[in-house]
Amino acid sequence: MITGSQCRAARALVEITRGKLTIRSGVGEAVIRDFEHKLEEPDDRTIAVLQAALEELGAVFIDENGGGIGVRRKFTESEAKRIARMEGEGGIVANDRVP
């Protein structure tokens, strides 16, 4: 389950307002606001609906992994193709240190 802080950060990353997230998820704007401001914790089903809507928009939630919880954006298809192309370029393997 995500936290209110992750919800707020994900909205910022995917550039969606609470109002638009309300329309997309069916969760009331006041519920989202209270969750993000840690005033009230919605039930697990509501949090799962918010998480699914934000993931559909491109947010990736990071569980506690020793470094803390977080959120980041998914790579777009174009970005993923560019990364794959760069990784497959090959070339001479050498030390990356600059003298």
Query: In this predicted model, what pLDDT tens digit does every residue of 42-96 receive, in sequence order?
Result: 999 999 999 999 999 989 999 887 778 889 888 777 777 777 777 766 665 555 5
Tally helices (H) and strands (E) across the chain: 5, 2
Residue type (1 letter), 15 = E
Distance between CA atoms of residues 63 and 98, nearest Å: 36
Strand partners, 62: 70
Global confidence as pTM: 0.76
Query: In this predicted model, what pLDDT tens digit does every residue of 1-52 receive, in sequence order?
Result: 999 999 999 999 999 999 999 999 999 999 999 999 999 999 999 999 999 9
| CATH code for the part of the protein at 4-87 | 1.10.260.40
